Structure 1
């Protein structure tokens, strides 16, 4: 994937973005993009968005996964275990697990905003329909990034108004306001995609979602996710009807982030070489032991080690096999999740369809059908195993009021007291990350 080298991306959001004055014979400066952007300029911005959105996603996935005890990252940094399971007290607002996700989500949003700002004065060769295509793309991707930010920071607050780098809006802590903002943005994008034209080139991860109509299906899938998060089940079902949801279809269908070994590109950092100790993702033993016998999702996602492994007082037996190579793609959203959204959104109104959704997923996992009345807890179990390691669990438990020790089985963790005795460690369950230090008071 080509790197967007002629834009100097912003650092921590508070500091905004500074564009170096330079002449680049191979690529236009941002000032030129803002006044007469060509199709090539706009396509380079699209490439930059798709490249940047991958940065630090692995940190978000492992950090939230550790908070909910579905997985642990054992590497050289002990904060991945001690901090995130609460043995060291509160989360640090100046550590990588707090700042990296914030920075890279807002950098992606900044690239999208540059794309949007360039459209009114774009070259005459860029048609109105093409401008709608670029705008629909950018707004969809901004909404996706804000969903991740809300998932991580929740009522710590995130900034929604970031178009002007010299005058950012306030931190918004109201969940309803954030989700409505995201839903409105997705609706705006969907309207623009209707009748738009695409002249942009997508990565192979968007194969099948690279026309205005098919990209709109991706947009509606995100809208269904956002509606479910907002508790609007009726709208979630409506959006599913306009998405790529297929209750009889391939569970893996959906747009993906891709990776490559090309110089300057990124590898999938959630892939870990089997058998290594120093940099490995482990499933919680309870994630395995509490699974229903014969669940193929467990067999396909983790591998048992030859012997237990311990770090920071945590003992584990199963390492990740979720991604098989360093260039395996990562799903942005896929049909399997949409089936579970369908099941959850039908609870209380149409149990037959709720069963259809949940049993489509269970059947693929080699499990017998559920019978009786479907509950939210039933769906949470399936989401726990279908979406393991994909940064869903913290949001799912929090939005359903289950992010507590009542619903999370804490793995035994030990520490050593001042006399050298091994004793159980006190743990804490967090429900969000703090706003980064550089954002506090701004």
Structure 2
């Protein structure tokens, strides 16, 4: 467990105790009378375990869409976005101009909250077998759900921290010796393992979960359909590790649909609402602007811009100060707009990537053009490109298809070895998050704590 284990456990339980409700989807969970940790671990009930599963959904959503959350920060680092918030100059001074600070709520982010969810999932996994009211299928469904949610939490941590690593031995008792910070390949292997274990459990989980899921999981709210979501995330993880045969295998069992009339928006989302007790989508913010490169690099079909650009951006009066000035704002998000976790459009692009890097260039271009023509309304790309040219093609399609949805641009530039473009020579390329200060303070001499963000 991390040195933040006491704090993160409190965060996890804050999403569990009391009246749990994701009101956007009318999830009503009974008051658990603030159960102590040992009660939840040692004397769990069907109600408390089900509520804890709902807590995993809340915990996974918690730092996704605030202005300074995962989508926002990674979007700024990847030069998809600016935040012209005069109340906090760190959106520019830290994210663009300087190095990420391990002691700030910016550079120290994406550690405590996901570890809270991992810890809560550990509690669920220990407790579920103690509940006689659950059938064997229900227990398996809960286990598959919990392992999948753990994988999502680890994925957020390692996406942010990259080669700085992460702690994967998270189930040590409170007060035990700190577990080591594992290297990135170890973390990615653990994510793949959790997803594969979860897939097996979901396959034995019957036809219903014994708890409700939020509305953003509509169509994926039973073990068989949730399994296709698990496999979609597994395909993404395989691409991140360049296991392209694994991508194609996982996609076979995912919800990918690349035939007939394609719904590119189909997928799994986190939902938001204005109802009491819920939260709104913080990406609807007057200070958030799109990076001008989105206009400078947009491709056209004749005189018409890429349809993805047109659908997601609008021109507004200029904000900012040179060299960070923009006349573009996102139109993608309102207060109640859901944020994608993974969509069919990404799966088709993952398939194109995997086909190309397993030697099937023609089929790869077919898949790429499905998105380019169907979503972007651009003319098809022809021929059999070289490796570098295909990467150029792929990065363009991913840039406009997955714009400001989950840090994809920042992650893609890093995984394909492309430099982050700078607005001016004195700006920085922050390519990873540092290990947070509190973690490093508990680990004197830890080599990972010497490493920074550039």
TM normalised by structure 1 equals 0.86
Q: 1:165-314 counterparts in 2 under 5 A?
A: 165-167=174-176, 168-172=178-182, 174-197=183-206, 198-248=209-259, 249-272=262-285, 279-293=286-300, 294-305=305-316, 307-311=317-321, 313-314=323-324
Whether 2:38 is the aligned partner of 1:27: answer no
Structure 1's consecutive aligned runs of 4 or more residues displaced over 6 angstroms after TM superposition are: 22-25
Aligned to 1:328: 337
Q: 1:97-176 counterparts in 2 under 5 A?
A: 97-122=106-131, 124-164=132-172, 165-167=174-176, 168-172=178-182, 174-176=183-185
* In 1, Cα distance between equivalents of 2:229 and 2:379: 30
* In 2, Cα distance between equivalents of 1:182 and 1:23: 31
* In 2, Cα distance between equivalents of 1:362 and 1:373: 16
Per-residue deviation, residues 245-268 of structure 1 (Å, max 9, x unmatched): 111331111111011112232111
Task: Work out whether residues 144 and 202 of structure 2, in 8 Å CA contact, stay in contact via their aligned partners in 1.
Answer: yes
Task: Work out whether residues 93 and 435 of structure 1, in 8 Å CA contact, stay in contact via their aligned partners in 2.
Answer: yes
* In 1, Cα distance between equivalents of 2:426 and 2:89: 16
Aligned to 2:89: 78
Task: Work out whether residues 108 and 433 of structure 2, in 8 Å CA contact, stay in contact via their aligned partners in 1.
Answer: no
Where structure 2 has 5 or more consecutive residues not aligned to the other structure, the ranges are 20-29, 444-454
Whether 2:411 is the aligned partner of 1:395: answer yes
* In 1, Cα distance between equivalents of 2:227 and 2:179: 29
Per-residue deviation, residues 415-442 of structure 1 (Å, max 9, x unmatched): xxxxxxxxxx611111101111001143
Per-residue deviation, residues 106-140 of structure 1 (Å, max 9, x unmatched): 12222212211211212x11111111100100000
After TM superposition, give the deviation of residue 299 of structure 1 in Å.
0.8
After TM superposition, give the deviation of residue 210 of structure 1 in Å.
1.0
> Which stretch shows the higher mean deviation, 233-242 or 48-57?
48-57
* In 2, Cα distance between equivalents of 1:111 and 1:396: 30
Task: Work out whether residues 258 and 329 of structure 1, in 8 Å CA contact, stay in contact via their aligned partners in 2.
Answer: yes
Task: Work out whether residues 11 and 107 of structure 1, in 8 Å CA contact, stay in contact via their aligned partners in 2.
Answer: no
Instruction: Give the length in aligned residue pairs.
Output: 404
Per-residue deviation, residues 260-317 of structure 1 (Å, max 9, x unmatched): 1122321111122xxxxxx421111112110102201111111101x22114741111
After TM superposition, give the deviation of residue 39 of structure 1 in Å.
2.3
Task: Work out whether residues 261 and 267 of structure 1, in 8 Å CA contact, stay in contact via their aligned partners in 2.
Answer: yes
Aligned to 1:427: 427
* In 2, Cα distance between equivalents of 1:13 and 1:180: 23
* In 1, Cα distance between equivalents of 2:198 and 2:61: 21
Task: Describe the SS at the equivalent of 1:303.
Answer: strand
Per-residue deviation, residues 198-243 of structure 1 (Å, max 9, x unmatched): 2121111111101111110000001000000001000100100000
After TM superposition, give the deviation of residue 17 of structure 1 in Å.
3.3
* In 1, Cα distance between equivalents of 2:437 and 2:322: 26
TM normalised by structure 2 equals 0.84
Task: Describe the SS at the equivalent of 2:347.
Answer: helix
Task: Describe the SS at the equivalent of 2:9.
Answer: coil
Measured on the aligned residues, the alpha-carbon RMSD in Å equals: 2.2
Aligned to 1:7: none
After TM superposition, give the deviation of residue 23 of structure 1 in Å.
11
